[in-house]
């Protein structure tokens, strides 16, 4: 190892300090590996294991961070599973090749024989930098498509967005909004400060569980606690947004989104099944897209899954990959 490079094992708090250092050239592009998110995830799903958060520093400045956990001789990224849509390492692009070479060498010396990496986007640093480095180091690599997510590029205006849709879908959205406004007094509101988010999570979770039996079954006590803690942590970081569609003062649909960099992420949603005939679940999402356009966002990320509404709202598929590296 170059003498100017050193391995450090980070804590959740030191990782948060790195994120707050805006003069560092690390790229925290992946929402799901932000320190606050990973800390909450680990608290609820770490199952008593110990995280292994490795950073490599050059003259005490990190050039990359690997938020890993290990079991036996296998290392994985923290955050796997249904509540983190995609994962990655945090790297300084100009130093990525050096970071990954040093990381693989370190893991090998520590007795790690395999990196099992899931939920990787095509633009992840794993695909861009780690795989080429691993190939040059003689590692065995297996790589396959595992899932897909959807996202749409946001135009500069609401009218331009509607024009992107098919004529049929554009007509349907306008028709559904007319029916909605004929049914009662409509209001759409968003909260994002800590106190309001904490107070409104009960309403969001009630709507989430009310519209489908499978969603109610998904929201176990453990998952309920995770959602509340995640919303509060991300509110402190000024990233979460809870939006509610109301009729005559009553919340009938809601979306939980994350506003990070130039992208709005639609994380989850729910609605009152008694109002299903008014398409309130779809319309609440459309209003979230409209609000994102008005706030200047460039991308609306519909995240993992192939639900039909994602096509209808203009989403384009993004493949997700699984990669195994035998070191």
Residues 6+ apart with CB under 8 A from 322: 117, 118, 119, 120, 143, 144, 145, 146
Residue 89 burial class via C-beta count within 10 angstroms: exposed 0-12, middle 13-18, buried 19 and up: buried
Q: Give the sign of the dihedral formed by CA 242, CA 246, CA 250, CA 255.
A: negative
The candidate with the shortest Cα–Cα distance to 10, out of 73, 68, 91, is: 68
CB atoms within 10 A of CB 174: 11
Q: How many domains does the chain have?
A: 2
- In this prediction, residue 212 carries a pLDDT of 86
Q: Is residue 189 scored above 90 in pLDDT?
A: yes
Helical ranges in 89-193 per DSSP H: 96-109, 125, 131-136, 158-164, 167-183
Q: Is residue 4 scored above 80 in pLDDT?
A: no
Q: Which residues of 292-305 are buried (b: 16+ CB within 10 A; e: fewer)?
A: bbeeebeebbbbbe
Examine the domain organization and report whether 182 and 138 are in the same domain.
no
- In this prediction, residue 286 carries a pLDDT of 98
* Largest separation between any pair of C-alpha atoms in the chain: 71
Residues 5 and 56: their CA atoms lie apart, in Å, by 7
Examine the domain organization and report whether 250 and 198 are in the same domain.
yes
Percent of the chain exceeding pLDDT 90 equals 91
Domain that holds residue 100: 5-147+320-326
Helical ranges in 110-238 per DSSP H: 125, 131-136, 158-164, 167-183, 194-210, 213-218, 221-236
What's the average model confidence in pLDDT over 310-320? 96
Percent of the chain exceeding pLDDT 70 equals 99
Looking at the domain assignment, is residue 302 inside a domain?
no
The secondary structure of 202-220 as a DSSP string is HHHHHHHHHS-HHHHHH--
What's the average model confidence in pLDDT over 161-173? 95
Q: Which helix (H) or strand (E) holds 287?
A: helix 280-294
Looking at the domain assignment, is residue 207 inside a domain?
yes
- In this prediction, residue 1 carries a pLDDT of 52
- In this prediction, residue 168 carries a pLDDT of 95
- In this prediction, residue 37 carries a pLDDT of 97
Residues 269 and 16: their CA atoms lie apart, in Å, by 28
Looking at the domain assignment, is residue 21 inside a domain?
yes
Residues 58-85 have pLDDT tens digits of: 988 999 999 999 999 999 999 988 899 9
Q: How confident is the model at residue 181 (pLDDT cuts 50, 70, 90)?
A: very high
Looking at the domain assignment, is residue 308 inside a domain?
no
Question: Which own/partner pairs from 166-169 qualify as long-range (CB within 8 Å, at least 24 positions apart)?
Answer: 169/312, 169/313
Higher pLDDT, 188 or 212: 188
Residues 6+ apart with CB under 8 A from 117: 76, 77, 87, 126, 322, 323, 324, 325
Question: Which residues, listed in sequence order, are joined to residue 308 by a DSSP beta bridge?
Answer: none
Examine the domain organization and report whether 129 and 51 are in the same domain.
yes
- In this prediction, residue 49 carries a pLDDT of 82
Among 1-10, 242-251, 261-270, the minimum mean pLDDT is found in: 1-10
Examine the domain organization and report whether 163 and 121 are in the same domain.
no
- In this prediction, residue 3 carries a pLDDT of 60
CATH number of domain containing 292: 3.40.630.30
What's the average model confidence in pLDDT over 43-72? 92
Looking at the domain assignment, is residue 305 inside a domain?
no
Q: If you average pLDDT over every residue of the chain, what do you get?
A: 95
First-to-last alpha carbon distance for the chain, in angstroms, is 17
Examine the domain organization and report whether 215 and 194 are in the same domain.
yes
Does residue 56 contact residue 18 with C-beta atoms inside 8 Å? Answer: no
Residues 201 and 150: their CA atoms lie apart, in Å, by 26
Examine the domain organization and report whether 141 and 13 are in the same domain.
yes
Examine the domain organization and report whether 143 and 159 are in the same domain.
no
Among 24-33, 112-121, 169-178, 291-300, the minimum mean pLDDT is found in: 24-33
């Amino acid at each position: 190892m170059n003498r100017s490079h050193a391995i450090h094992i980070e804590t959740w708090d030191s990782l948060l300090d790195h994120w707050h250092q805006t003069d560092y050239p690390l790229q925290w592009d992946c929402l799901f590996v932000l320190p606050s998110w990973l800390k909450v995830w680990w608290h609820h799903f770490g199952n008593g294991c110990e995280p292994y958060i490795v950073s490599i520093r050059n003259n005490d400045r990190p050039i990359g961070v690997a938020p890993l956990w290990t079991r036996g001789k296998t290392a994985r990224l923290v955050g796997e599973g249904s509540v983190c849509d995609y994962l990655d390492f945090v790297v300084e692009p100009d130093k990525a090749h050096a970071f990954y070479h040093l990381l693989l060498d370190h893991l090998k010396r520590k007795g790690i024989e395999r990196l099992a990496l899931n939920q990787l986007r095509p633009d992840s640093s794993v695909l861009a930098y780690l795989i080429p480095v691993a190939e040059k180091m003689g590692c065995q690599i297996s790589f396959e498509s595992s899932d897909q997510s959807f996202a749409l590029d946001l135009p500069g205006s609401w009218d331009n967005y509607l024009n992107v849709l098919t004529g049929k879908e554009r007509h349907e959205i306008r028709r559904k909004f007319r029916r909605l406004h004929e049914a009662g007094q409509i209001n759409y509101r968003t909260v994002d400060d800590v106190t309001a988010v904490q107070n409104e999570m009960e309403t969001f979770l009630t709507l989430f569980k009310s519209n489908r039996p499978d969603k109610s079954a998904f929201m176990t006590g453990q998952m309920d606690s995770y959602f509340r803690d995640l919303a509060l942590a991300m509110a402190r970081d000024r990233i979460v947004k809870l939006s509610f569609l109301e009729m005559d003062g009553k919340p009938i649909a809601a979306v939980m989104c994350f506003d990070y960099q130039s992208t709005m992420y639609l994380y989850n949603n729910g609605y009152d099944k008694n109002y299903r005939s008014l398409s309130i679940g779809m319309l609440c999402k459309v209003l979230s897209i409209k609000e994102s356009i008005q706030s200047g966002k460039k991308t609306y990320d519909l995240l993992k899954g192939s639900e039909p509404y994602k096509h209808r709202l203009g989403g384009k598929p993004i493949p997700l990959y699984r990669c195994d590296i035998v070191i």
